[in-house]
Every structure is written in C-alpha cells, then in structure tokens.
Amino acid sequence: MKVRLKDEVGDAAYRSWLRPITLHDTSEGGVKLALPTRFMRDWVNTHYAERIRTLWGAENPAIRNVEIVVEAARAASATQNATKAKAVPAPAAEPARATPPCAPATVPSNDTDELGAPLDARFTFKNFVVGKPNEFAWAAARRIAEADQVSFNPLFLYGGVGLGKTHLMHAIAHHIRERNPERSVLYLSAEKFMYRFIRALRGQDTMSFKEQFRSVDVLMIDDVQFIAGKDATQEEFFHTFNALVDQGRQIVISADKSPSDLEGIEERLRSRMACGLVADIHATTYELRLGILQSKAEQMGAIVPQKVLEFLAHKIISNIRELEGALNRVVAHSQLVGRAITLETTQEVLHDLLRASDRRITIEEIQKKVAEHFTIKLAEMSSARRSRQVARPRQIAMYLAKQLTSRSLPEIGRKFGGRDHTTVMHAVKKVEELKECDHNFAEDVELLRRMLQG
C-alpha cells in the first residue's frame, strides 16, 4: 500500500507525512495506524486518510475502519526527555567583565553539552533602543519572554543586516532564564544547527540529536535563510519544529526576509514559519539612530558632544552595527591618543567610512535616473498605470533598488506607490528573465547600474 501511496503523492510528500506511519494495533474489522505527533496525525487525517482507507479496503475487504492515532510511547518519551532536560541545574552565570568598546561580552550557556551558542551579555531588553522601525518586533519579543504559556508560535523576526534581530533573540533568552531558570532555552544559528545535524548523521547518532533538540522549552534559530537549498537539514528542522509545536514549546526564528520571500526553502516549511507572528524590523530613522548613539555613549561612559552624535546619526544610515562601530572607533581613538572628541577629529577618524556612506545610492536616485533614461515622468514610478511603457521602467527601478540598496522588499514597495512586496518580487524576477533572453535589455540595465554607481 505504501508503494502505491508514494507513486500517487510524490516522494517529498511521502517522506514528510506517510513514511513515518507505523501499524499500532489491529482488531476485527479495523486497524490503528500511528504517527509520532498530533500535528502529523491531523495533517494525514485531513489530506490522506480517505485514500488510505480506500487502499486498505481494496487489499483486505474485511477492514472497514482505519484509525490514525498519536503513538503514546513516542509522546511519553518526548515528555520524559523534556523532564530530564529541566532537571539538569543551570550553572550560575559569571558576572560579565568589563570589555573594550568593540569586544562582545558573553555569558555561559546553560544548554546541555553546550549545544547552543553563547549569549552576548550586552544584548538585553534594557539596552535595546525602541523606535518606530522596531517597536512591533520589540513588543512581540517582550510578550514571548514574559509569557508563561505560548502566545504565538513561532515568532518570526526579519529585517536587514545589523538592525537588531540577534539583539532581540538574545534579550528573550536572557529574560526567560532570569525569570524562570528551570526553563531550558536553546539559542543557536541555523548554520550551527546544520553542522550538528551533519555530525549526528556521520556518527550515526541522530536519535540523540533529535532528543536534545526536541526536549527544550524554547528553541531559537538565528539566520534561518542559511539552510536554503539544504534539503536534509530542512527536513530535520521541519520535524523538530512540528514536534516542539505539538508539545506546546516556544520557537523563535530570525531571517533576512519574510517567510514567503525565502528562496530555496520548501513550501511546507515556509508555511509553518509564517503560521505564528511575523514581525518586520524596518531600516532605522534619524531619531532612532540618535537614540542608539546616546544610549551607547552612556553605556561606554564616554563624553561625546551632541553635535558629533547628530553628525553620525545623519551620516551612518546603513545599519545599527555599523553605526555603533563608528562610535566605538571615535571613542577608542580619543582614549588611545588622548584627544577630545570633536566634529573635526570624528571626520578624520572615520574618513573611509564617511566616503563609503556618501557613495550610497537611494531609491529616489534610482527612480530619477531610470525615469530620465526612459523619458517618463518621475511620478510614474508611484502611479497606478500599467502600460508597458511605464511598467517596464518601474520594474527595472525596483530591480536596481533591490540590487543597489539594503532596503527590504516591503520598504521598496512602499517607495513605489505603496505596492506590496510580492509586486517587487515579481519585478525582480521579470527583469532577471528578460536579461537572460534580451541582450539589448540587459545592456540597458547594466548601463543604468554603472551610471548610478558612477
């Protein structure tokens, strides 16, 4: 029967949902089939149960009822493992030592066998500066950290590089451990998850791997986009995800794009990641950058003139990581050389960074250059017109905005008349397709790129 089902549903669906089925019990006129989690049982009941009953009845007409259940032994084993994990006392955290401005302070992990990554002692809710671009993600992270029961699962944080995703994840872990040390929290990158899985496969110890990851109270995976195109790792993460959700455990995930925009990730996994709460961290505003600099200077105990902070907030706009790095350099230079921090010394110390910032391209510049090139009005970039004469330049401008700026897809869409991020995705894909088959079109796009980067 399984061979027939595999032929009908395809190899991927068969491996995910039907291969784990085992025969649980038989009785007169009926059979019980078992799956390891409630989520898998419900999915199979919804999508495949009727077909299974039909095929089973065709092979043995005496079977009139097929029931799909959750195998108690596996569920009990998972609960038992979770209890054991909780019973391991967490080592007391050592006090964080004073560190140089750019050196991260870390606290030891309480994960069994150091399964996860260490947490940065600086990344707490107290040190997170909240502003309009990140207030929703911050509020969601606080809710997760303070809740005794799962509110939404998973929490999916996404945004560009250096905007605070990792800070919020570390803050959640710190807060949970301080509030309830008995709860087991596991934080690690998707890359580390993959390497541990590969090591388990090579050592033929996948059961131990599964037990470790599926017995935690809170699983936090950073930069999940790393497992794009890695099918075996995605399948293991999918089943780990299902097992934890089935047990009512919390999952927190971060990525550089929203679940629907993650390329190379299987549809079933993208769907699962999007089923909780998805929170976008937008690019920083001037006010938020200034607030971050003021907070950072205060933490460092450095006296930095307000004019210097305002200058940096205006000039370093790419991401928070680069902004804090710039302040670190200015303060370190002052301390090492013994000179007061002034606007002049700041420009001198950061001359290379400021030159790079001055060369950064904005979406407005791209729109203007493309409109001039195709002799259309700049207003058409945001208009609702769909004629090819207007739509094609608009798509090229969206493509170049994606290639030449650090803005997210939703941000780009908003700059083009409030369009949805899926419209930007379509534009990028369309331009890439046309570049492949139309040499003149490709030359046009490349010319525009060179002019903008000039």
Is 362 annotated as contributing to ligand binding?
A: no
Is 165 annotated as contributing to ligand binding?
A: yes
Is 166 annotated as contributing to ligand binding?
A: yes
Provide the CA 192 distance to its chain's centre, in angstroms. Answer: 14
Gap between the Cα atoms of 391 and 396, Å rounded? 9
Gap between the Cα atoms of 229 and 211, Å rounded? 25
* CB contact at 8 A, 169 and 162: no
Q: How far is CA 136 from CA 85, 294, 350, 416, 421, in A?
A: 32, 22, 33, 23, 19
Is 342 annotated as contributing to ligand binding?
A: no
Provide the annotated binding site for ATP.
162, 164-166
Provide the annotated binding site.
162, 164-166
